[in-house]
Amino acid sequence: MDKTRRVDRSATFIPAFFRVLGVPCAVEVRDLSSTGFKIESFDKFGEGTRGTLKIEGFEAWGAIVAWRSGDDTGCQFDRPLHPAVTDPIA
């Protein structure tokens, strides 16, 4: 996985769920872009874990965990989101 960030992310504080193997885990989205996001959670997701991010009012988006540090987890979307989707959120 390419760890070089190509798109600027906007700082956010959005409650959401990151669902892994059908289990929704409460998270807070801390930054968001069309290509990925950072979440804060008490749940620990290992690098390479696949899941879906669900923000209320939006469809769920598939993603893979790229890194983890403390309570922060960085994820890359399976497919980039259109800016028209992320701009109103961020």
With CA atoms as reference, report the closest residue to 66 among 81, 47, 50: 47
Burial of 86 from C-beta contacts in 10 A (0-12 / 13-18 / 19+):
buried
Extract the tokens encoding 33: 């872009």
Calpha distance 61→81 (Å, rounded) = 9
Per-residue confidence (pLDDT) for residue 51, from 0 to 100: 97
Calpha distance 52→61 (Å, rounded) = 5
- Taking only the tens of pLDDT, the chain with its 90 residues reads 445 555 566 678 999 999 999 999 999 999 999 999 999 998 989 999 999 999 999 999 999 999 999 989 999 999 999 888 877 676
**Dihedral over Cα of 25, 29, 33, 37: its sign:** negative
Per-residue confidence (pLDDT) for residue 38, from 0 to 100: 96
